[in-house]
Amino acid sequence: MSRQVFITDLDGTLLRSDQTLSNHTVDTLTCLLEQDTIVTFATARGSISAQNVVGRVPWKYPVILYNGALLMDWTNDRVIDGYWLDQRVTNEVIAVGRQYGITPLLFTLDANDRERVWHERLVRRGVTEFVRSRKDDPRFVEVAKLQCPDDERTLAVTYIGLKDELEPILADVNAKLGHLVHAHMLKDYYIEDHYFLEFSHLNGNKKDGLKLWAQHMGIELADTVIFGDHLNDLGLFEVGGTKIAVANAHESIIQMADQVILSNNEDGVANYVRDRIGNSE
């Protein structure tokens, strides 16, 4: 029988609505990992941000970060692979936003594979709340005028704002650079009425990130069990094997799912993996 492989989204799927894990989920996943069950995650978060919310779990297999733009060896804090947005294209995306009076957060890797988040002075509510929610995060660096540093690789260019503020930026970038970037806009979980608009390499998405992960792991995509809840998980569902939606998932995810399980606030993912492993023994 094929080895069972489980890949879960974090926010809205594995994490509860308050951005925490229950003790039950931590204990369940820890036990499964100690038994060499392949359990890992694919998230929009970076390594430091993910560590802050799921660091109690002793993850041992590579993880998919920045919505698929970065593949990391979690145990050794080492970059394995990834998809970087061209520097010229990065600066063009920033320039489009500047025309509308909005500057983004610029997520990069420096020459030593350290994560950086470059930003101009915080004046807008959405981006201010986002940065404050990551208190003492060493990635954040303020600059007078935002542009991609010459020796760094862009993981994502992320705008945070109201939907009607971001839609013109999305339309303009797609018109000018749509053949060079992957773009998606999602309603934010935690900042009321705000959306995230993210631009990355064409392959910097969870669909291609999962393909890259499977390639490095030597695993067939058909053998994966995927858990998700939001629109940025659609790519996972397109190429994954068994598709599992938590009960609180977006309707588009539920429609694609093979099964709907308990919600993120009811330990749905941990209970499903525990029960499936138990039933296979």
Averaged pLDDT, 161-165: 96
- Give the Cα separation of 228 and 235 in Å (integer): 10
Written as one letter, the residue type at 249 is A
pLDDT digits (tens, 9 = 90+) for 73-115: 999 999 999 999 999 999 999 999 999 999 999 999 999 999 9
CATH code linked to domain 5-81+205-280:
3.40.50.1000
Q: Is 104 helix (H, G, I), strand (E, B) or coil?
A: coil
pTM for this prediction: 0.94
Q: What's the confidence (pLDDT) of residue 50? A: 95
Q: Describe the strand order of the beta sheet including 78-82 as a list of residue ranges.
A: 63-65, 70-73, 78-82
| pLDDT of residue 60 exceeding 60 | yes
Write phi, then psi, for 106 (nearest 5 degrees). Answer: -110, 110
Q: What's the confidence (pLDDT) of residue 2? A: 52
The domain defined by 87-201 folds into 3.30.1240
Average pLDDT, the chain: 94
Q: Describe the strand order of the beta sheet including 224-228 as a list of residue ranges.
A: 38-41, 5-8, 224-228, 242-246, 259-261
Start-end ranges of CATH 3.30.1240.10 in the chain?
Answer: 87-201
pLDDT digits (tens, 9 = 90+) for 13-48: 999 999 999 999 999 999 999 999 999 999 999 999
Start-end ranges of CATH 3.40.50.1000 in the chain?
Answer: 5-81+205-280
